[in-house]
Amino acid sequence: MSQSISTKPPSGMRDFLAADVQRRRHVLAIVQRVYESFGFVPLETPTIENLTTLLGKYGPEGDQLLYRLLHRRDKLRRALDEGLQAGALDELGLADEGLRYDLTVPLARVVANYKDLPAFYKRYQIQPVWRADRPAKGRFREFYQCDVDITGSQSMVADAEVAGAIATVLEQLGFADFRILLNHRELLRALVAEAGIEAERESSALIALDKLDKIGVDGVRKELGEKGIAEAAAGALFAGLDAMREPGALERLAAGQGAGANGARELLELLAAAAGSPAGRHLTFDPTLARGLSYYTGPIFEVQVDDLAGSMGGGGRYDGLIGMFQKQPVPAVGFSLGLERVLLVMEQRGMFPDLGIGPQLLLCRMAGVSAADAVGTATALRAAGLRVELFADEAPMKKQLAYANTLGAPFVGILGPQEVEQGVLALKDLRSGEQVAVPVAEVAGRVQGA
């Protein structure tokens, strides 16, 4: 009976055992330290948000992937009864809450809700988010995002700062080879419009364009055709793209009066500001970069490394999002790092330093030693700064030592009647096998010095 219950976590979600947790904490500690060094302050928001907060912010694809929470008890029964009578059940009748899909929309809600926040609110947020997606390598249904955002500023310095924070984190983690791809929503819009593509086909054209480096010109051409975009328009799109790739293209565009002039000027400002930060050497203008989330309005970013199919992070400017929660629009820009993507690449590349886990010393108790003496010795060793595990059961010495091996503890301290009497501990180095009697007060120094 009980055997038929699956003991695996739900699809796309994971348990983290000690070694996993240590690696995650190692990365998170660096992320947090760097974010705080940039002056960002922490924020945590609820796991659950109202569906009215979440819906309509991410585009149709995003709405699809939202986890919804079904009404409970009476509310559900009433909704079903009424729905069946009316002949239709609409979505908000069944659910009015959902799991957080990202950290940006909750931030926008918070900014609109607390009017006394600083004019330039720089917050960081490290929390899990949920997407009802099909899991794959590096893609989970529950995953952590590490966001930094600045609200209230239209300056490209803000954009450069969030990119700088991300670049600093990655460099401090040991990455040297990442690229921060950069583009601008207005440039994309101008590109598509000038190619003569209808406004309603804009997003599908951009999605096709985004795949250029993967499926090539012919592949994109084919996909554009399938989306109902005329061959002439596709040709014009590629021509515009080629022009954008030429050296000095951004400068020429910025100098002109065309549709993309403002976007080009902003990118140049951003690049100029970032020249003073670690982001400078990683930022790469990529006119094909599109990004799916619909709330972006200005510069957009994506972090790439060669050995990861997806991105390690992404972000951009979203000057319209907070205005969806209040009358007054507030400009904002942010960047998000995907913790598990970072971990995946670090694991593949063996980038983790030796992260000490578990006890440094296993205290073994022999027959004839009181529990109080054993606990007291462990307490003294801990007070001296050691990580100490006390073998709880009464067991033969060989069993206790074998257990120390499975723990990976470098030392055991053996406490027998003799040792108690003399106020010492038989300290054994498990790697060398050497064993010496050491006064309890000196054990910590010995172990830490080893």
The residues of the shown chain that bind RNA, judged by CB under 7 A, are 8, 11, 61, 102, 131, 133-141, 143, 145, 207-208, 210-211, 214-215, 290-293, 302-303, 309-314, 336, 338, 340-341, 366, 396-399, 401-402, 404-406, 414, 416-419, 426, 428, 430-433, 435
Q: Name the residue nearer to RNA (CB basis): 51 or 181.
A: 181
For the bound state, the minimum distance from the C-beta of residue 337 to RNA, rounded and expressed in Å, comes to 7
Q: Name the residue nearer to RNA (CB basis): 236 or 426.
A: 426
Q: Is the dihedral of CA 53, 54, 55, 58 positive or negative?
A: positive
For the bound state, the minimum distance from the C-beta of residue 223 to RNA, rounded and expressed in Å, comes to 8
Q: Name the residue nearer to RNA (CB basis): 214 or 327.
A: 214
Phi-psi region of 118 (alpha: psi -120 to 50; beta: other; left: phi over 0): beta
For the bound state, the minimum distance from the C-beta of residue 158 to RNA, rounded and expressed in Å, comes to 19
Q: Name the residue nearer to RNA (CB basis): 159 or 210.
A: 210
Strand bridging mode 332-338 / 424-429: unpaired
Q: Name the residue nearer to RNA (CB basis): 241 or 397.
A: 397
Token duo for residue 252: 């020429």
For the bound state, the minimum distance from the C-beta of residue 261 to RNA, rounded and expressed in Å, comes to 26
Q: With beta carbons less than 8 A apart as the criterion, state whether 184 and 297 touch.
A: no
For the bound state, the minimum distance from the C-beta of residue 27 to RNA, rounded and expressed in Å, comes to 13
Cα(184)–Cα(192) distance, integer angstroms: 13
- Residue partners of 60: CB distance under 8 A and separation at least 6: none
**3 state DSSP class of 230:** coil
Cα(297)–Cα(332) distance, integer angstroms: 10
Q: Name the residue nearer to RNA (CB basis): 278 or 316.
A: 316
Integer-rounded Cα radius of gyration of the chain: 29
Q: Name the residue nearer to RNA (CB basis): 292 or 376.
A: 292
Cα(207)–Cα(202) distance, integer angstroms: 9
Cα angle value 360/364/366 (rounded, 5°):
170
For the bound state, the minimum distance from the C-beta of residue 393 to RNA, rounded and expressed in Å, comes to 10
Token duo for residue 233: 């328009």
Q: What is the DSSP string of 182-211?
A: EEEHHHHHHHHHHTT--GGGHHHHHHHHHT
Environment class of residue 35 by beta-carbon count within 10 Å: exposed (0-12), middle (13-18) or buried (19+)?
A: buried
For the bound state, the minimum distance from the C-beta of residue 262 to RNA, rounded and expressed in Å, comes to 23
For the bound state, the minimum distance from the C-beta of residue 279 to RNA, rounded and expressed in Å, comes to 16
Cα(114)–Cα(137) distance, integer angstroms: 39
Cα(94)–Cα(215) distance, integer angstroms: 41
Residue ranges of alpha helices (H) inside 211-295 are: 212-226, 231-245, 249-255, 261-274
Cα(175)–Cα(342) distance, integer angstroms: 10
For the bound state, the minimum distance from the C-beta of residue 128 to RNA, rounded and expressed in Å, comes to 10
Cα(108)–Cα(104) distance, integer angstroms: 6
Task: Give me the residues paired with residue 143 across strands.
Answer: 129
For the bound state, the minimum distance from the C-beta of residue 82 to RNA, rounded and expressed in Å, comes to 29
The residue type at 357: I
Q: Name the residue nearer to RNA (CB basis): 75 or 446.
A: 446
Q: Name the residue nearer to RNA (CB basis): 56 or 83.
A: 56
Cα(129)–Cα(144) distance, integer angstroms: 6
Q: Name the residue nearer to RNA (CB basis): 379 or 405.
A: 405
Cα(193)–Cα(202) distance, integer angstroms: 8
For the bound state, the minimum distance from the C-beta of residue 437 to RNA, rounded and expressed in Å, comes to 8
Q: Name the residue nearer to RNA (CB basis): 85 or 432.
A: 432
